A = this chain, B = another copy of it.
Amino acid sequence: MTSTVPQTVTASVLVIGDEILSGRTKDKNIGTIAEYLTAIGIELREVRVVPDEADEIVAAVNALRARYSYLFTTGGIGPTHDDITADCVARAFGVTIDVDPRAKAMLLERHKPEDLNEARLRMARIPAGADLIPNPISKAPGFRIGNVFVMAGVPAIMQVMLDAIGPTLTTGQRMLSETIEAGNLPEGTYASALAAVAAAHPTVSIGSYPAMVQGGFANRIVVRGKDPEAVGAAREAVEGLVAELKLGT
């Protein structure tokens, strides 16, 4: 598996929100973060979605930050009473949390001092020792503490925060991937041969992914690995068996 390849940097994502668990809101951030991390050489290893409940959030933050190089959270950093992420992260790290002058200054770029009420000031409450993540869209910042990055849940804002975080991350060897279109070739016709190819190319991971289009299957075989030569060799082997089987059909 890829995790045995050296120079690996791992990550996890924690989505905080009853709205996702209720199905009312469909998460868009998981896929965005996954694609982003893969592109820069960080392996997303686990995702969790938990409700807006302090004990659940604290437990998940501590489990994930201990296990992976980075943890990225989304959601729960707004001004309303149900936005409890910052307090939960402070609790997880055992640090205090209070209004941060730097964060307050950012909010003042958008709000007049007289409009910076108690609720809005909640968005400036940052755990002690955290660095801020700028938010050019609505100003209320995210923050980084240790290996945990706390971002907004609104996809457009999460994206700009991720763009700001990206350059600061330690990245590993980039995962290369090649896709071979098996089309409507049934998985069952190439599964055995593909397993043999996988066994013969142990330094790459090979997956077969069925999808449906107009009621028929559109299968794709994906070769993933960090060594260009190994990935190329496996790709050629897979292309060979697919071409052979297509001739056979």
Contacts and interface: CB of A to CB of B under 8 A. Distances in A.
A211 B45 CA distance: 28
A210 to B, nearest CB: 6
A195 B90 CA distance: 21
A209 B16 CA distance: 12
A31 B23 contact: yes
B23 A194 contact: no
A206 B80 CA distance: 10
SS of A interface (majority): mixed
Interface string A24-39: 1111001111111110
18 contacts: A18-B224, A20-B31, A20-B47, A21-B44, A22-B34, A22-B177, A22-B224, A23-B36, A26-B31, A27-B31, A48-B48, A78-B208, A78-B210, A79-B188, A80-B195, A82-B208, A111-B188, A115-B188
Interface of A: 1, 3, 15, 18-27, 30-38, 43-53, 56, 78-82, 111, 115, 117-120, 122-123, 137-138, 154, 156-157, 175, 177, 187-189, 191-192, 194-195, 198, 205-212, 217, 222, 224
